[in-house]
Structure formats: C-alpha cells, structure tokens
Amino acid sequence: MAQDMTEKELKQMELDQLKKEVKLERQMISQTAKELRTFIESMAEEDPLIKGIPEDKNPFKEKGGCTIS
C-alpha cells in the first residue's frame, strides 16, 4: 500500500496519525500499573493459564491412544 503512495500522501497520512495521537489522554504509568495489577489479580481465578482447563472442557485432550502390537 505504502509503495503506491506519493511522498506527499505518506506525509499527510503521518500527519493525520500524529493529530490522532496528540488528542489521547495520557496517564501516569504508576497509576496505570496499579490498575493493571488489580485487574489481573481479580481475573486470576478465571484464567485458564493459571488455573488450568478441566479435562471435560479441554478441546485439545487426546481422543484416544494408539497401540502397536
């Protein structure tokens, strides 16, 4: 996409992006980190990476074994 655009069009696209970014509300990382930690801790009970997946709901469990005799 960018290969088909002129330099003026690329600069205009960059300017538009910067205008969007300047409007964003900035927050202190100390406050954001506290909120993120609280959210993660509150969702830990439901997190399958921490808690694990019950065998009956695991779509990736082995369906059956293979025996060679």
pLDDT in tens, 10-57: 999 999 999 999 999 999 999 999 999 999 999 998 888 888 888 888
Model pTM score? 0.47
Model pLDDT, residue 32? 96
Per-residue pLDDT, 1: 58
Query: What confidence score (pLDDT) does residue 16 get?
Result: 97
Query: What single string gives the DSSP state of each residue in 4-64?
Result: GS-HHHHHHHHHHHHHHHHTSPP--HHHHHHHHHHHHHHHGGG-HHHH---GGG-TTS---
pLDDT score of 54: 83
Hey, where are the domains in the chain? 29-53
